[in-house]
């Protein structure tokens, strides 16, 4: 039977409905990391061992974007051309990911984006291999004022 | 007092694609040119530092052993260094330290590379959960994607246009055309560049460096030894290295897939570090440079490295470009060798090729692309994961 498989284990949750990226938070200095790290990487951290797994916010703002027109080499197995962006999350991280549910001409820096888990490709057994992507939120299609109001409750 | 280090000779194999030649062949050809240039032979070399190549399996890791075997093994140490595209600069810096320590008088820094065509692919053996694995498997982010993301943001922040990006290529192509070592000799107009296919918006095919094969070698010596061979040796005023600072907001290849947004650390922190140290070591500031070779992996790079190295303030590189300040005859000519855009990158050799150009320029041997009366030049290389080397040469 056709299954859904994550492209890598321990990078995102998706089965519970609302998907989240899984990162790390340092309890000693408050810094966030994605993907997970074993030790805090901040040289000024007072205790690098106090690192805990955490989920990251699923809504942020498009910091930048590009469209890659040529197919990337193996081990990439998804479609091309593809849109890739960096989405700024409240954790002071801009996370790279494919962009979906939008057209090149819709993209503008600062628009509100949300995390989704979607098919990247089908493997040889017919399983759907899933990855994280970002898509514009419903608010992002409206003008700036409504999305700025939203920023406070991320 | 520290020993002064001289550049006794430089040599390079031309850049291009050479079926049938491996990285050892290219490095050996470069070494022989350097021996000829320096007036010393392989038998006078006391130690060598070799930039490793990523594309030749195990042989690439032990590049120095393979190259020294081809030159005729003599028992001298062969140190291998791997710092991605900064490897050539790192090899030179280590060679300089070997001279400064007083342990060796004549040291060869060398690199040869045969690159895969197209996008540099992933290498096997990575942890599948590392950023450098996930960027391929989960995202499909080639190297140019990283540059394009920072470049697209720069357009919004500083008003960089597609014309600026095309201008960088058009400028460098004029110099590459007259450099016998360059792979690409065509002179491009801005229009031709703008008509080339988009690879990763806003970066186009002709604005991104190709992958090439090449080899380069630099022979260093103590100043006492150099005076025996030449009356006017060029002086290695600084060869300083740097590494990424935590919190660097740059979209660095391989080290992360999530980057800081608000940070007190500057972009390209590894290059800010290496250049700051180099200026200090040389006692020479960016305003005193007569020319610079910067790593123009894409047009975006040439602009941002001008800023990271203190040639101008952030957001001002386009103004210098528009004013012609970075052209031959301008205030600070940048990439008069033709740059990576005319050569394509042969990773292990690229940093040494930059030094080759500076030395030729300081000696007045650069022909039609000669910077008039050049006295001080800078070469800067950076590598994946955030590492960099800044070399300053004077006469």
Condensed to tens digits (0 to 9), the pLDDT of residues A87-114 reads 999 999 999 999 999 999 999 999 999 9
Q: B174 by DSSP, 3-state: which?
A: helix
Mean pLDDT of B339-349: 96
This prediction has a pTM of 0.95
Asked which of A107-121, B83-97, B179-193, B222-236 is least confident by mean pLDDT, the reply is B222-236
pLDDT level of residue A154 (50, 70, 90 thresholds): very low
Which residue in A94, A110, A100 sits closest to B156, CA to CA? A110
Q: Does B129 touch chain A (CB under 8 A)?
A: yes
Q: How many CB pairs under 8 A join A and B?
A: 133
**ipTM exceeding the 0.90 mark:** yes
Condensed to tens digits (0 to 9), the pLDDT of residues B270-324 reads 999 999 999 999 999 999 999 999 999 999 999 999 999 999 999 999 999 999 9
pLDDT of residue A142: 65
- Asked if B5-118+213-236 and B131-209+237-394 have one fold, the answer is yes
| A22 pLDDT higher than 80 | yes
Q: What's the CATH fold of domain B131-209+237-394? A: Peroxisomal Thiolase; Chain A, domain 1 (3.40.47)
Of residues A7, A33, A82, nearest to B137 (C-beta)? A7
Of residues A80, A93, A132, nearest to B138 (C-beta)? A132
Provide, rounded to the nearest whole percent, the portion of chain B with pLDDT above 90.
Answer: 94
Of residues A36, A67, A120, nearest to B201 (C-beta)? A67
| A152 pLDDT higher than 50 | no
Q: CA–CA separation, A17 vs A11, rounded Å?
A: 16
| B124 pLDDT higher than 80 | no
Condensed to tens digits (0 to 9), the pLDDT of residues B134-154 reads 999 999 999 999 999 999 999
Q: Residue B134: exposed, middle, or buried by beta-carbon count in 10 A (0-12, 13-18, 19+)?
A: buried
pLDDT of residue A145: 41
Mutate to test the interface with B, among A10, A84, A132 (most CBs of B within 10 A): A84
| A148 pLDDT higher than 80 | no
| B126 pLDDT higher than 80 | yes
Q: Do B134 and A35 make contact, defined as CB atoms within 8 angstroms?
A: yes
| A144 pLDDT higher than 70 | no
Q: CA–CA separation, B127 vs B198, rounded Å?
A: 32
Q: How many helices (H) and strands (E) does chain A have?
A: 1, 10
Q: What's the CATH fold of domain B5-118+213-236? A: Peroxisomal Thiolase; Chain A, domain 1 (3.40.47)
Distance (Å) from the C-alpha of residue B317 to the closest C-alpha of chain A?
20
Give me the phi and psi of B183, to 5 degrees please.
Answer: -80, -40
How confident is the prediction for chain B on average, in pLDDT? 96
Which residues in chain B have their CB less than 8 angstroms from residue A74's CB? 121-122
- Listing DSSP states for B123-151 in one string gives -TT--TTSHHHHIIIII---HHHHHHHHH
Q: Does B235 touch chain A (CB under 8 A)?
A: no
Closest residue of chain A to B253, computed from CA coordinates: A96
Q: Does B159 touch chain A (CB under 8 A)?
A: no
Which residue in B379, B390, B381, B389 sits closest to B10, CA to CA? B379
pLDDT of residue A146: 41
Q: Does B134 touch chain A (CB under 8 A)?
A: yes
Q: What's the CATH fold of domain A4-8+58-153? A: OB fold (Dihydrolipoamide Acetyltransferase, E2P) (2.40.50)
pLDDT of residue A147: 42
Q: Do A75 and B136 make contact, defined as CB atoms within 8 angstroms?
A: yes
Inter-CA distances, B323 with A7, B157, B193, B294, Å:
49, 20, 20, 18
Tokens standing for B126?
């990575």
Provide, rounded to the nearest whole percent, the portion of chain B with pLDDT above 70.
Answer: 99
User: For chain B, which residues make up each domain, given as ranges?
Assistant: 5-118+213-236, 131-209+237-394
Contact A130, A119 (CB under 8 A): yes
Distance (Å) from the C-alpha of residue B200 to the closest C-alpha of chain A?
4
Mean pLDDT of A65-73: 96
């Amino acid at each position: 039977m056709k299954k859904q498989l994550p492209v890598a284990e321990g990078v995102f949750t998706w089965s519970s409905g609302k998907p989240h990226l899984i990162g790390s938070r340092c309890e000693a200095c408050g810094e966030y990391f994605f993907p997970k790290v074993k030790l805090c990487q901040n040289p000024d951290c007072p205790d690098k061992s106090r690192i805990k797994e955490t989920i990251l916010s699923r809504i942020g703002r498009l910091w930048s974007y590009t469209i890659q027109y040529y197919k990337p080499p193996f081990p990439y197995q998804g479609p091309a051309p593809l849109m890739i962006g960096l989405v700024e999350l409240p954790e002071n991280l801009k996370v790279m990911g494919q962009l979906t549910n939008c057209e090149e001409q819709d993209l503008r820096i600062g628009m509100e984006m949300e995390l989704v888990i979607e098919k990247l490709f089908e493997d040889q057994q017919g399983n759907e291999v899933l990855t994280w992507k970002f898509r514009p939120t419903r608010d992002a299609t409206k003008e700036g004022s409504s999305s700025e109001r939203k920023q406070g409750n991320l | 007092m520290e020993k002064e280090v001289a550049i006794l000779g430089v040599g390079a194999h031309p850049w291009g694609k050479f079926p049938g030649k491996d990285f050892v062949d290219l490095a050996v050809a470069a070494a022989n040119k350097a021996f000829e240039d320096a007036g010393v032979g392989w038998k006078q070399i006391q130690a060598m530092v070799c930039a490793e190549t990523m594309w030749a399996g195990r042989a690439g890791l032990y590049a120095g052993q393979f190259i020294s075997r081809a030159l005729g093994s003599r028992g001298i140490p062969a140190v291998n260094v791997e710092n991605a595209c900064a490897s050539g600069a790192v090899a030179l810096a280590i060679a300089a330290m070997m001279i400064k320590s007083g342990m060796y008088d004549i040291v060869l820094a060398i690199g040869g590379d045969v690159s895969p065509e197209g996008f540099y692919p992933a290498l096997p053996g990575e942890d599948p959960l590392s950023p450098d694995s996930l960027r391929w498997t989960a995202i499909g982010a080639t190297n140019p994607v990283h540059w394009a993301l920072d470049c697209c943001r720069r357009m919004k922040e500083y008003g960089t246009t597609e014309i600026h990006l095309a201008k960088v290529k058009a400028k460098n192509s004029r110099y590459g055309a007259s450099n016998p070592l360059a792979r690409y000799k065509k002179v491009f107009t801005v229009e031709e560049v703008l008509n080339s296919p988009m690879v990763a918006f806003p970066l186009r095919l002709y604005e991104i460096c190709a992958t090439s094969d090449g080899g380069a070698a630099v022979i260093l010596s103590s100043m006492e030894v150099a005076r025996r061979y030449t009356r006017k040796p060029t002086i290695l005023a600084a060869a300083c290295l740097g590494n990424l600072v935590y919190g660097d907001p740059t979209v660095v290849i391989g080290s992360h897939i999530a980057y800081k947004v608000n940070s007190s650390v500057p972009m390209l922190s590894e290059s800010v570090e290496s250049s700051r140290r180099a200026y200090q070591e040389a006692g020479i500031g960016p305003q005193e440079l007569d020319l610079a070779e910067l790593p123009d992996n894409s047009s975006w790079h040439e602009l941002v490295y001008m800023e990271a190295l203190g040639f101008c303030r952030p957001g001002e590189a386009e103004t210098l470009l528009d004013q012609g300040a970075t052209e031959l005859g301008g205030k600070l000519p940048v990439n008069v060798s033709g740059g990576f855009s005319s050569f394509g990158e042969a990773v292990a050799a690229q940093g040494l090729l930059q030094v080759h150009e500076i030395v030729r320029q300081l000696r007045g041997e650069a022909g039609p692309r000669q910077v008039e009366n050049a006295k001080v030049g800078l070469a800067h290389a950076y590598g994946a994961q955030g590492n960099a080397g800044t070399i300053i040469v004077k006469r």
